[in-house]
Structure 1
Amino acid sequence: MGERDWLVAALGVACAAVVWLGVALLRTRRRWQAAVGERGWLLERERESAAHTAVAAERDRIARELHDIVSHNVSLMVVQASAAREVLGTMPDEAAAALRAVEDAGRGAMTDLRHLLGLLAPAASGEDEDPGPAGARADLTPQPGLDRLSTLVDRISFAGLPVEVRMSGDPRPLPQGVDVTAYRIVQEALTNALRHGNGGKAEVMVRYAENALRVEVLNTGPSVLTGTGSTPGTVPPRRHEGAGRGLLGLRERVAVYGGDLDARRRLGGGYRVRARIPLDRP
């Protein structure tokens, strides 16, 4: 074989190699494009799933806030309106005080609802329509904490349920979420005691432990064994322990911070709500 034949053969091999490499490169590029497309589709699905999860979580949070606002304030309004109706003809001063309490509860509910709705539907300009002092942007979400506990207790006591508060440990600033959760626990427990209780009293205990915040609310009421306080010879009907929407929402709130909540009837009468919220979680 001459030199010319060798060159022709080498050129043919080189051309074949180039063609093979071109085909391999084309196949690799197609596989890469398919992989990129698949990855993009997966990322899009993940984004959609994350968005749906966020929307569901926000709906749950709004539902809990609405329940806390409406249930508490409407319960107070019903109790006070009933008291005003009973003494309207005989004790006008007491009736007027009860009606003022109804008005205050209604105003408080409207304020909290306006803030919550402002968060959901801000002004077209994107600015809060209710600016705070010196033009500062107002906090749109109703976020009470234990600093408002005395106000809550006064309202409940005025509505007819005496409340005693005991604080122990070393009070210190709490994370906002924990502070709000602790307040909501007390609010829900006292509201339920006022709504379903038959007289009696309540006791609130808040303990600042080293690594946790402990909250307990006790109230007196009919005994589950003897039916004391109910119609003679009958036992009050038992409802499912802690099955109300409010208590379920509180369990979810507490669980977010790694805590636990227990709510149940007391054998001696009344109800007990007890929660522990860790303070040492990052």
Structure 2
Amino acid sequence: MIAAAVACVAAVVAAALGVALARARRGHRAALGERGWLLERERESAARTAVDAERARIAAELHDIVSHNVSLMVVQAGAAREVLSTLPEEAAAAMGAVEAAGRTTMTELRHLLGLLAPAQDGSEEPYAAATEPQPSLTRLGPLIDRFAFAGLPVEVRVSGDPRPLPAGIDVTAYRIIQEALTNALKHGDGGKVEVTVRYAEHALRVEVLDSGPSVFAAGTGGEAGPARAAAQPAVDGAGRGLLGLRERVGVYGGDFDARRRLGGGYRVRARLPLDRP
């Protein structure tokens, strides 16, 4: 009797343990499934965020490329029209610059748009393989020369100890100068522009001062010369460019300021930290 009772109790306990073990296994599988679902959702969210960030970057690059090159093309075409009958050689040189800027713009646009919609047969080459080197402060000279050729006098000052910069900060500093000079070319009246790049111990500082009347924010300004009058665009275009620069600088924890100067003209100033943790 006792042996039978013990065997019965053991059987009941074993059955209960089996049921508990099965429930535990089902709970574990359910927990794993839920965790996998959550991880998948997190991966999808991270992928969407990365796509949105990349699209914003491409949009900013498209604005920089189109605004810069098309502005140069408009100014050069206007200058060529003014001197076509009196200075044919200068007019031909200006039209050559227009053609070169147009070709550069189309090349850059083709590769940037290729990032958004690559060829189905995979024939589209990598962006970095077929284009010019990445914009950098080391290539500031050719940029200044293009604006000087377009009729914008630019003076450049570099202080501190120039040194290699993180790629993102280097490109951002170049774009700040490019955008500020483009707006000065479009909105200025021939006044001189001063570009200052200062390599401090813990930060890179960039400043662009336009000495002439400006319509960056006000929508009014001095009369532009004949060659620049045709290049006068809507004011909000410049605002979008400056907003994009502010966002770029913010990515690196820097400070950005763009405002009209009391004595006339416009000032664009940025500080990009070099030792951000």
Length-normalised TM-score, structure 1 = 0.85
Deviation at 1:147, TM superposition (A): 1.4
1:146 equivalent among 137, 152, 155:
137
Counterpart selection for 2:183 from 192, 198, 208: 192
**Corresponding residue for residue 254 of structure 2:** 259
- 1:88–1:230: structure 2 CA closer, same or farther, 3 Å change rule? closer
Correspondence list, 1:74-89, <5 A? 74-89=70-85
Matched-pair contact (CA < 8 Å) for 2:147–2:181: yes
Q: TM-score, normalised by structure 2?
A: 0.87
Task: Give 1:109 shift.
Answer: 1.6
Of all paired residues, the percent bearing the same amino acid is 73
Which protein, 1 or 2, shows the higher relative CO under an 8 Å CA cutoff with sep ≥ 6? 2
Deviation at residue 130 of structure 1 after TM alignment: 8.1
Q: Secondary structure at the match of 1:74?
A: helix
Q: Aligned pair 1:161/2:156, yes or no?
A: no
Over 6 Å off, 4+ runs: none
CA-to-partner distance for each residue in 1:152-201, whole Å, 9 max, x for gaps? 11111111211000010011111111111110000000001111112212
Aligned length: 264
Cα-Cα RMSD: 2.6
Unaligned runs of 5+ in 2: 225-234
Of residues 190, 202, 223, the one that matches 1:211 is 202
Q: Deviations over 1:181-238 (max 9, x none)?
A: 110000000001111112212110000001110000010222799x88359xxxxxxx
| Counterpart in the other structure of 1:27 | 23
Q: Tell me the CA shift for residue 243 of structure 1.
A: 7.2
Cα deviation code 1:257-277 (max 9, x no counterpart): 111111111111111100000
Larger Rg: 1
In the other structure, the counterpart of 2:264 is 269
Counterparts of 1:53 and 1:280, CA distance in 2:
26
Decide whether aligned partners of structure 1 residues 229 and 248 sit closer, same or farther in structure 2, where only a CA change above 3 A counts: closer
Matched with 1:101 is: 97
The residue that corresponds to 2:55 in the other structure is: 59
In structure 1, what is the equivalent of residue 32 of structure 2? 36
Could you say what secondary structure the match of 2:129 adopts? coil
Give the equivalent residue in structure 2 for 1:6.
2
- Which residue is 2:222 aligned to? 229
Give the deviation of 1:280 after TM superposition. Answer: 1.2
Partner of residue 86, structure 2: 90
Measured in 2, the distance between the counterparts of 1:90 and 1:175 equals 48
1:265 & 1:124 partners in 2: Cα distance? 48
Q: Out of 200, 204, 211, which is 1:220 matched to? A: 211
3-state SS, counterpart of residue 276 of structure 2? coil
Q: Distance in 1 between matches of 2:198 and 2:7?
A: 89
Q: For residues 121-136 of structure 1, what are the structure 2 equivalents within 5 Å?
A: 126=122, 129=125
